[in-house]
Amino acid sequence: MLRCAWVLLALVVTGCSEAPPAPAPKPMPSKLEGMWSDPPPTAVGTLCFFACTDAAIERLNALLDDPKNDARPFPQLAAEAQKHQTDNYLRPRLTEAALKTYPLDPADDPGFLRCEPWGLAKQMFAPHQLEIRRAGDDRIELRYGEWEAVRTVHVDGRAVPANVPPSRLGYSVGHFEGETLVVETSAVAPGITWWDSQHSDQFRVTERFTRSDDGETLNLTATIEDPWGLREPVVAKKIWRWAPNQKITPYDACEPATEFKKGTGEP
């Protein structure tokens, strides 16, 4: 009986005392922090200036390794690799619903017509500057030169809230796997992908950012899913170059299109 009383007393004391302090936030690897910009001037870097897939990279390397192509201009080879990517990788992954409007006419781009900033599906691959900075212990900010867009990545272990409304850049949570920053984003409003297809609010993406061993490049592998628009995930890649002297300048002079022709996109 006395033993039970001691146990009860111990439980009461424990319950009334202050909660143990939360563990100190785990320091974030800083290898990724800083300013990045356009890829190195290599063949693959240029192919992936916006975004690319392994299908395009492999095709380009095969074309470059064939002596018959030595006299052909690089843009021609890059265009051929991109066409291979479209025909053999992207198009077969699109659902019937997405194929109805694919490829979208570039003249219908809201960014072009009305200066509307990109949604996440294009913004995450935006050319030029990307600045990665921690913003406190629980968040990382991704700042892009294009459109001066800012994404917040919550790295405090939370999940994407169930009731968060879809927005242009979605809701991002992240964690580190060693030196790799893994960012998962959902709650993205319907928009346009980097391959000029529509996507739904079921769009979600997992981005993996890693720095190369020599420290000179930042590599992104993004696995994109959208049950409405994709039969299976698209795995896209992008490269940035370490550019500590670059800066993001104001993006304040966009003018809506006044003269244009429709039907100039990919046939």
Partner 1 sequence: MRRFRVGSALRRTALLCMLILLALAVTPVASHHAFSPVYDAKKTIVVEGVVTQFRFVNPHAMMLMDVTDKKTGKVVKWNVEFAGRLNLEEAGWTADSIKPGELVKVTGNPTWTGSQRMAFVKLVRADGTTLEPGRAQRLSAIEEERRQRAKQREQQPAQQATPEK
Minimum distance from residue 96 beta carbon to partner 1 (Å): 25
The reply on whether position 176 binds partner 1 by CB under 8 A is no
Minimum distance from residue 239 beta carbon to partner 1 (Å): 13
The reply on whether position 58 binds partner 1 by CB under 8 A is no
Which residues are 142's β-sheet partners?
A: 132, 151
The reply on whether position 251 binds partner 1 by CB under 8 A is yes
The reply on whether position 213 binds partner 1 by CB under 8 A is no
The reply on whether position 49 binds partner 1 by CB under 8 A is yes
Cα 160 from Cα 7, distance rounded (Å): 40
Minimum distance from residue 109 beta carbon to partner 1 (Å): 5
Tokens, residue 238: 């992008």
Output the CA–CA distances (angstroms, integers) from residue 171 to 13, 145, 216, 248, in the order listed. 41, 20, 29, 23
- If you write DSSP's letter for every residue of 86-100 in order, what string do you get? IIIIIHHHB-HHHHT
The reply on whether position 248 binds partner 1 by CB under 8 A is yes
Question: For residue 142, which of 134, 126, 131, 158 has the smallest C-alpha distance?
Answer: 131
Whose structure tokens read 């890693």? 210
The reply on whether position 107 binds partner 1 by CB under 8 A is yes
Tokens, residue 189: 């409003």
Vertex 49: Cα angle to 47 and 52 (nearest 5):
60
Among 25, 136, 157, 265, binds partner 1 (CB under 8 A): 265
Minimum distance from residue 259 beta carbon to partner 1 (Å): 5
Residues contributing to the site for partner 1 (CB under 8 A):
37-38, 41-43, 46, 49-50, 64-65, 67, 70, 73-76, 79, 105-107, 109, 111-112, 118, 127-129, 145-147, 246, 248-254, 257, 259-262, 264-265
